[in-house]
Amino acid sequence: MNISIRQLFGRKPKSSNIAKQRLKLVITQDRLDVDDRMMMRLQHELTEVLAKYFEFSMNSVQVSLKHEGNSCTLVADFPYKEAH
């Protein structure tokens, strides 16, 4: 609600929120000792394996870390290809 009103008036998102989101991501990576290269490699290998079994739209594949409080989740998005 808050965001949509702001977007309606064309305001930029608050820089403190951007800082927080960026920090959360980078700190999660720091804590787990993973870097972008490793995440890319993981995404690549996961894609190779899953492609044997499913058809999904390659360009919307996403593997990322989600940080919540003290815990952290690995989120892998492999959206199915839309049936025509």
Partner 1 sequence: MGRVIVVTSGKGGVGKTTSTANLGTALALLGKTVVVVDADVGLRNLDIVMGLESRIVYTSMDVIDKQCELVKALVRDRRVDGLTLLAASQKNNKNDVQPAQMKAICDKLRSTHDFVLVDSPAGIERGFSNASAGADEAVVVTTPDVSAIRDADRIIGLLQHARIDPINLVLNRFSPELVGNGSMMDQADVVDILNINLIGIVPEDTGIITSTNRGIPLVYEESSEGAQAYMRIARRLTGQQIPIPDFAQKGLFTSILNWFTRKS
Which residues contribute to the site for partner 1 (CB under 8 A)? 14-17, 19-20, 22-24, 26-27, 30-31, 69-70
- Distance between alpha carbon 35 and the CA centroid of its chain, in Å? 14
Per-residue 3-state assignment (H helix, E strand, C coil) for 42-81: HHHHHHHHHHCCCCECHHHCEEEEEEECCEEEEEEECCEC
- Smallest separation (angstroms) from partner 1 to the CB of 24: 6
- Smallest separation (angstroms) from partner 1 to the CB of 10: 16
User: Which of residues 15 and 59 has its CB atom nearest to partner 1 in the complex?
Assistant: 15
User: Which of residues 32 and 51 has its CB atom nearest to partner 1 in the complex?
Assistant: 32
